[in-house]
Amino acid sequence: MWKKYKFFIQNLDCANCARSLEEYLNQLEHYQNVVLNFSKLTLTLETNYKIDVLNHVISDVKSIEQNVRVLEKMEENNTAKKDLIFLGLGLIFYLISLFMANFWFQNIFVLGSYCILGYQTFLKAIQLLKKGILNENFLIVVSAFGAFFIEKSMEGFMVLFLYQIGKYFEKKATGNVRKSISLLMSLKPSIAHKKEGNKTLDLSPEKIQIGDTLVVLQGEKVPLDGILLNENCELDTASLTGESKVMLKEKGEEILSGSVNNGSVFEMKVTSLYENSTVKRILDLMEHASDKKAKTENFVNRASKYYTPIMMVVSFLIFFFTPILFSITYQESLYRAFMVLVVSCPCAIAISVPLCYFAGLGAMSKHGILVKGSNYIDLLANYQKIVFDKTGTLTTGDFGISSIVLLNSNYTKDDIIKYLVYGETYSNHPLAKSILKQYTSISVPKLENVVEEKGKGISYIYEGQLIRLGNEKFVHTTEKTKETVIYLSIDDDVIGYVTLGDNIKENAKEVISSLKNSNVFTTMFTGDHKDIAKITSEQVGLDDFVADLLPDEKFHQFELLKKKNKTETIAFVGDGINDAPVLRLSDCGIAMGSGSESAIEASDVVIISSDLEKLLEAKHISKKTLFVLKQNLIFALGLKIIVICFSLFGIGSMVLAVFADVGVTLLTILNSLRILK
């Protein structure tokens, strides 16, 4: 029986080595679905080993990477000091050799410095060579010792020394990237204060049950999802939504785990277990996001398998043909071939591509946008069409007054609102509460003979007049409309009505306009009536819409859209249970965080705050990620090609070749960090 495991990796400082190790483990019969995430130093795999799994994995890893540690829990890595000690010893040995007059003693100290600096690199090269794998370790060892044997010991030493210095700074730089991104994973609350009578018990959030009452202290994270029991509270949801403003919650409103209590102590009732909570979903998404690789990453991984052998062949051709073409000695052509070997190390490309995507995922999460894989960053940057659900996506989902129609000139629109608010104050209907939210400033007098008839309307006496609010039958009118309306009659005279509509989200029009300016075709699929859908479409400025769709019809309509536009990337934005099938079918499914569990599960991207403007932020960050990625690739490949050309004509030295490898790697890492800003 196959079972999934997750381990942590230490002492793996090479992206290309990580790829080789992942590839090797995937070939072994005891493992499947092996993913080695170099950006997070995690190893996930499925194995049919039944006992002693960790030791089996350690043994298999060490057969190809002797120095790598495999751990069940992350531990602090203190290899940096050891690296500096070896660098210092290597330098001392070489400096001593410079003062040696005896040829043999001089070479012993030179080789001693080579062995100190290149010991680990040499071991890795031999281990990989036994498995039929050629990578940068082999190139460096061959180049360094080759330089020694053609009496270029200084260049050979510089290759190893600068390579190890570069590896040290590369390790520090990637470590800083991991630290900056790991801060995004600090959402998990460490403790929950459970109230039992007059006592408070401090427990792990995993041990809290639905219905328990929790106390949240000032400055603490909310441990689980729930509803507020106090009159109000102030919450900082920046870690969830990316918005720095404080949110005021009132009694009975939902509170999301991961929010921070910015006000006084409050109590809450738990509505979901930790495993189903908002913060757990976010952590799970972040944990596995970079395991799904983008096409560019997969291409680099496949290409790097052939890259090193090809460069070995190129180096051999340079060694063989340059004496014929340029009338130089074979010793000089061998030196040029070694330069090509050094500069051709694929470090910069191997590390910068996954690091760019990892930084992009981190930048998204900082803005409250959770992306389930780096492959979706490509799609977010390049979709040509986007389909919106209506209710809860383009609209708030709360009904309110969208228009007022007068049928009697003796009254004003303010009169209609006034009488409407008076009556709805005494109603228990959900629509009444939505209407009253719009007009909180109107004071309501005491009314007489208030009678509410369910499904019809409400009537009352005010200043001796009979006021009726309700449908056409309740107010006795022949006036009809396809929209949802509330009629108002005074002493059986219908004086007007209000049209109710699902309120458009505050920034919906601006977001749609920005998408259209980016040449994105915008449309809407909804189950609402055509007339209502048309109004919404016109208000936000959509290119098109399709209405009167049942859930299965919405799915088939999206299928048709995909068939008609096979070459285009189509995104879908929704939040309801009925949207889940379409979210899964789309090239890039985007769910609103306030939506249903099934929609969030089926989606590829989750916008926690349900703010439409996050669509533009997601597109911007995705485009920036791909732009930085292209910069890295052009810079790394371009400089390598230039230095290879220099090597071919005998310009420069191995020091320049090492910079074109290690120096470029460091620069691409630093460039990738810009995505997080």
Q: What is the dihedral of CA 417, 421, 423, 429, to 10 degrees?
A: 120
Q: Is CATH 2.60.40.1840 the classification given to domain 192-285?
A: no
Of 273, 364, 346, the C-alpha closest to 303 is 346
Residue 253 CA to residue 266 CA, distance in Å, equals 13
Of 189, 169, 166, the C-alpha closest to 177 is 169
Residue 202 CA to residue 189 CA, distance in Å, equals 12
Q: How many C-beta neighbours within 10 Å does residue 424 have?
A: 20
Q: Reading across the β-sheet that carries 484-490, which strands appear in turn?
A: 395-406, 493-504, 484-490, 465-470, 457-462, 448-453
Instruction: Give residue 647's pLDDT.
Output: 85
Of 159, 132, 135, the C-alpha closest to 145 is 159
Instruction: Give residue 241's pLDDT.
Output: 59
Burial string for 369-383 (b: 16+ CB within 10 Å, else e) reads bbbbbbbbbbbbbbb
Q: Which two tokens stand for residue 230?
A: 């106090």
Residue 60 CA to residue 28 CA, distance in Å, equals 9
3-state secondary structure of 249: strand
Residue 447 CA to residue 423 CA, distance in Å, equals 8
- Which residues in the chain show pLDDT less than 50? 289
DSSP 270-334: E-S-GGGSHHHHHHHHHHHHTTS--HHHHHHHHHHHHHHHHHHHHHHHHHHHHHHHH---HHHHH
| Residue corresponding to tokens 């990337």 | 569
In terms of CATH architecture, what is 399-504?
3-Layer(aba) Sandwich (3.40)
Instruction: Give residue 154's pLDDT.
Output: 84
Q: How many residues does the chain have?
A: 677
Of 367, 368, 12, 304, the C-alpha closest to 178 is 12
Amino acid found at 116: I
Instruction: Give residue 487's pLDDT.
Output: 92
Q: Residue ranges per domain, the chain?
A: 3-77, 192-285, 399-504
Q: CA-based diameter of the chain, in Å?
A: 121
Catalytic residue list: 389
Q: Which two tokens stand for residue 386?
A: 């986007």
Instruction: Give residue 92's pLDDT.
Output: 92
Task: Determine the number of helices (DSSP H) and then strands (DSSP E) in the chain.
Answer: 23, 26
| Residue corresponding to tokens 């209405």 | 547
3-state secondary structure of 610: coil
In this structure, which topology does domain 3-77 adopt according to CATH?
A: Alpha-Beta Plaits (3.30.70)
Q: Reading across the β-sheet that carries 31-37, which strands appear in turn?
A: 31-37, 42-47, 3-10, 69-71
Instruction: Give residue 299's pLDDT.
Output: 66
Instruction: Give residue 263's pLDDT.
Output: 85
Residue 197 CA to residue 204 CA, distance in Å, equals 19
Decide: 488 and 496 in contact? Cβ < 8 Å: yes
Cα→Cα distances 133→23, 30, 138, 345, 645, Å = 10, 20, 9, 14, 27
Task: Give the distance from CA 237 to its chain's centroid.
Answer: 18
Decide: 536 and 390 in contact? Cβ < 8 Å: yes
HEC states along 387-403? EECHHHHHEEEEEEEEE
Q: What is the dihedral of CA 319, 321, 326, 332, to 10 degrees?
A: 10
Instruction: Give residue 243's pLDDT.
Output: 55
Instruction: Give residue 490's pLDDT.
Output: 92
pTM for this entry: 0.70
Instruction: Give residue 660's pLDDT.
Output: 81
Please report, in angstroms and rounded to a whole number, the separation of the first and last CA atoms in the chain. Answer: 45
Of 281, 280, 279, 233, the C-alpha closest to 256 is 279
Task: Confirm whether 3-77 and 192-285 share one CATH topology.
Answer: no
Q: Indicate the helix (H) or strand (E) that contains 18.
A: helix 15-27
